[in-house]
């Protein structure tokens, strides 16, 4: 699927970047030895693009991409679009729309929001409906490897060998599994937590012909397959494949609501396919609430990037506002958060417009240091404020505002 336009990434010379140290949900984040980074980020289900929770998630991986590329590393970044899934079909029925049309509209909106926010695009932006033969082959391989069983034409993945690795208690896992698309109560399952690989067609739903019957794939297998195929190559889904390292990809990313079951299941399925652990690091962005409440579809309080943009909010102020909190923290959005960001950005722009500014190097070093410390954007932005205040307090200084602007653009994605 067409990605969105690439964003200009200024080169930054002479700034020493400390090793990026990220707190992972699982695995380690020592990337210093690696020259090639393979990053997979779970994309949206295109039925409610793009709310601020989405924006905060994709901003997180954009900051990681920017930092690693500024260190001179080669980054391969792949993102999917779950363009066939229950919530999409449900909304299409509710709105009396063709599900394909709804998905196409929402993907368009997503692309324009990502472009406005200056999120670096993935090299491959892959729709699930474009990779059905790959999903079909992967399920065949899982069958050959002994990981599947059937109930009334539905194919399940046998999770038993991976259960010792659950990221939460079994009781909690069962509860979350039911909330996030799982069917723990289905009669005939070997384990209540086994996820669906392939669903036999239900009347009125879209389906695809396959060796596993007419139907559609389960959620988790889509991401295992897209990540492996586009970050490693077609050979990964054959019996000849042998992994070269101790994990298949470097980073698996997404919102913290994907830790379980989605990332746990996709990783288990990737390992069952290849015999090798899936990702070196699992990194998750926190959730965004509104005015003290959880932001959710069911509460009807989602704040959409496109609506903010339409009302005239500068996308760089949205980006700045999201960076006022640390990526991994759950945070609240409010008009005040946006107003504060707007005031701060105005001061920084005023300083950048000056011919003579305060020396930028110590400030840039501090920004890099804060980013390397688990992407501490709140502290990095405070350094920018400080530099702006020092600059605006005098008419003396050095001719370095261009260097400041370019580096802030490269590392923080703020074109000010
Ligand atoms: Zn995914």
Residue 54 lies in a domain: yes
- Count of domains for the chain: 2
| CA-angle at 8, arms to 3 and 9, nearest 5° | 110
**Domain co-membership, 149 together with 62:** yes
Residue 297 lies in a domain: no
**Domain co-membership, 282 together with 319:** no
**Domain co-membership, 242 together with 379:** no
Domain boundary among 288, 321, 355: 288
**Per-residue confidence at 368, pLDDT binned at 50, 70, 90?**
very high
Identify the pLDDT of residue 367. 98
**Per-residue confidence at 357, pLDDT binned at 50, 70, 90?**
very high
More confident residue, 409 or 244: 409
Identify the pLDDT of residue 107. 97
Expressed as residue numbers, the domain containing 356 is 310-412
Identify the pLDDT of residue 207. 97
Cα 103 from Cα 109, distance rounded (Å): 10
pLDDT tens-digit map of 276-334: 999 999 999 999 999 888 888 788 889 999 999 999 999 999 999 999 999 999 999 99
| Confidence check: pLDDT of 50 > 90 | yes
CA–centroid distance, 339 to ligand 1, in Å, is 34
| Confidence check: pLDDT of 162 > 90 | yes
Judge whether 36 and 76 are in contact, CB under 8 Å: yes
Residue 8 lies in a domain: no
**Domain co-membership, 227 together with 265:** yes
Residue 301 lies in a domain: no
CA–centroid distance, 363 to ligand 1, in Å, is 37
What pTM value is reported for the model?
0.97
Cα 163 from Cα 160, distance rounded (Å): 5
CA–centroid distance, 263 to ligand 1, in Å, is 7
**Domain co-membership, 140 together with 67:** yes
**Domain co-membership, 214 together with 246:** yes
Identify the pLDDT of residue 299. 85
Judge whether 269 and 301 are in contact, CB under 8 Å: no
Residue 95 lies in a domain: yes
Cα 113 from Cα 346, distance rounded (Å): 22
Q: Token pair for residue 252? A: 């698996």
CA–centroid distance, 227 to ligand 1, in Å, is 9
CA–centroid distance, 219 to ligand 1, in Å, is 8
CA atoms within 13 Å, Cβ hemisphere of 20: 26
Residue 55 lies in a domain: yes
CA–centroid distance, 197 to ligand 1, in Å, is 14
Identify the pLDDT of residue 230. 98
**Domain co-membership, 242 together with 327:** no
Residue 158 lies in a domain: yes
CA–centroid distance, 388 to ligand 1, in Å, is 40
**Domain co-membership, 160 together with 108:** yes
Identify the pLDDT of residue 233. 95
CA–centroid distance, 223 to ligand 1, in Å, is 5
CB atoms within 10 A of CB 192: 16
Judge whether 117 and 305 are in contact, CB under 8 Å: yes
Q: Can you give the CATH number for the domain in which 223 is found?
A: 3.40.50.620
State the chain's mean pLDDT as an integer: 96
Domain boundary among 255, 288, 321: 288
CA–centroid distance, 335 to ligand 1, in Å, is 31
**Domain co-membership, 275 together with 317:** no
**Domain co-membership, 238 together with 344:** no
Domain boundary among 288, 319, 342: 288
Q: Can you give the CATH number for the domain in which 331 is found?
A: 1.20.120.640
Phi and psi angles of residue 38, each rounded to the nearest 5 degrees, phi first: -110, 110
| CA-angle at 179, arms to 124 and 255, nearest 5° | 35
**Domain co-membership, 251 together with 130:** yes
133-158: average pLDDT: 97
Helix (H, G, I), strand (E, B) or coil at 233: coil
**Domain co-membership, 242 together with 385:** no
Dihedral of alpha carbons 388, 22, 80, 297, sign: negative
* Partners of 253 in the β-ladder: 41, 283
Residue 390 lies in a domain: yes
pLDDT tens-digit map of 196-245: 999 999 998 999 999 999 999 999 999 999 999 999 999 999 988 999 88
């Amino acid at each position: 699927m067409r990605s969105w336009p690439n964003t200009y990434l200024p080169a930054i010379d002479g700034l020493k970047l400390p090793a990026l140290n990220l707190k992972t949900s699982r695995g380690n984040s020592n990337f210093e030895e690696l020259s090639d980074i393979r990053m997979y980020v779970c994309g949206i289900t295109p039925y409610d693009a793009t709310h601020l929770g989405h924006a905060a998630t994709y901003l997180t991986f954009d900051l990681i991409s920017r930092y690693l590329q500024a260190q001179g590393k080669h980054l391969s970044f792949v993102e999917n679009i779950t363009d066939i899934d229950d919530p999409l079909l449900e909304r299409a029925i509710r709105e009396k729309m063709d599900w394909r049309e709804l998905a196409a509209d929402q993907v368009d909106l997503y692309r324009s929001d990502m472009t406005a926010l200056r999120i670096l695009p993935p090299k491959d932006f892959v729709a699930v409906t474009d990779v059905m033969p790959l999903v079909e082959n992967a399920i065949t391989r899982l069958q050959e490897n002994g990981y599947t069983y059937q109930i009334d034409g539905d194919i399940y993945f046998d999770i038993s060998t991976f259960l010792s690795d659950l990221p939460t208690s079994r009781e909690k896992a069962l509860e979350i599994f039911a909330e996030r698309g799982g069917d723990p109560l289905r009669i005939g399952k070997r384990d209540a937590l086994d996820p669906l690989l392939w669903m036999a067609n239900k009347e009125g739903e879209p389906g695809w012909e396959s060796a596993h019957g007419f139907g559609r794939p389960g959620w988790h297998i889509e991401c295992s397959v897209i990540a492996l195929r586009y970050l490693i190559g077609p050979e990964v889904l054959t019996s000849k494949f042998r992994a070269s390292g101790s994990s298949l990809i470097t980073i698996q990313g997404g919102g913290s609501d994907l830790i379980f079951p989605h990332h746990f299941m996709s990783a288990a399925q990737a390992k069952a396919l290849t015999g090798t652990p899936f990702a070196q690091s699992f990194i998750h962005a926190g959730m965004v609430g509104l005015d003290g409440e959880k932001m959710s579809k069911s509460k009807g309080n989602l704040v959409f990037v496109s609506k903010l943009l339409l009302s005239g909010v500068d996308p760089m102020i949205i980006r700045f506002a999201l960076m006022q909190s640390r990526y991994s923290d759950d945070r609240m959005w409010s008009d005040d958060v946006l107003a504060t960001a707007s005031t701060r950005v105005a001061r920084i722009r005023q300083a950048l417009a000056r011919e003579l500014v305060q020396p930028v190097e110590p400030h840039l070093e501090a920004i890099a240091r804060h980013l390397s410390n688990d992407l501490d954007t709140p502290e990095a932005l405070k350094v920018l404020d400080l530099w702006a205040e020092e600059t605006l307090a005098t008419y003396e200084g050095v001719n370095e505002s261009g260097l400041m602007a370019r580096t802030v653009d490269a590392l923080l994605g703020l074109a000010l």
